[in-house]
Amino acid sequence: MDFPKNFKYTKDHEWIDVQGNSGTVGVTAYAVEQLGDIVHIDLPEAGKTYKAGDSFGTIESTKTVSDLYMPVAGKVTAVNSALKSAPESLQADSYKNGWLVKIEMASAADAAKLLDAAAYEAFIKE
């Protein structure tokens, strides 16, 4: 399983692609694989503000419902509405088209505290 090297990761299995003060947030391929068949995703509206670690939505599979956690503090600027009508598409590509929300980060330095790809890979092997 590959994890984009330029992304940062959380131990809750979210990723963030940082571009300046903006970030694109999603859920890792590992988490998607563990969830199985995804049947519903509940995402926030643009404009909502979250602290790092806040739940910003849920992802439901045939096995369970899991919270989605914001990797850094910020304000949601865009939501991937395509996932609401086709949540199963997340299983095909959880990185490129499978992003969940885009945010304006409160502080880009917060992302430096997250795991890099190698550290995340080591974490899921534990």
pLDDT in tens, 66-107: 999 999 999 999 999 999 889 988 888 889 888 999 999 999
- Say if residues 30 and 13 touch (Cβ distance below 8 Å): yes
- Say if residues 77 and 23 touch (Cβ distance below 8 Å): no
Domain contains 125: no
Question: Which residues span the domain enclosing 80?
Answer: 8-120
For the entire predicted model, the pTM comes to: 0.94
Q: For the chain, how many structural domains are there in total? A: 1
Domain contains 31: yes
Domain contains 89: yes
Domain contains 98: yes
Q: Rounded CA gap, 106 and 20, in Å?
A: 11
SS3 28: coil
Domain contains 3: no
Domain contains 1: no
Domain contains 126: no
126 falls in which pLDDT band (50, 70, 90)?
confident
Q: What is the CATH number of the domain that holds 17?
A: 2.40.50.100
Domain contains 110: yes
- Say if residues 70 and 53 touch (Cβ distance below 8 Å): yes
Q: Rounded CA gap, 47 and 121, in Å?
A: 32
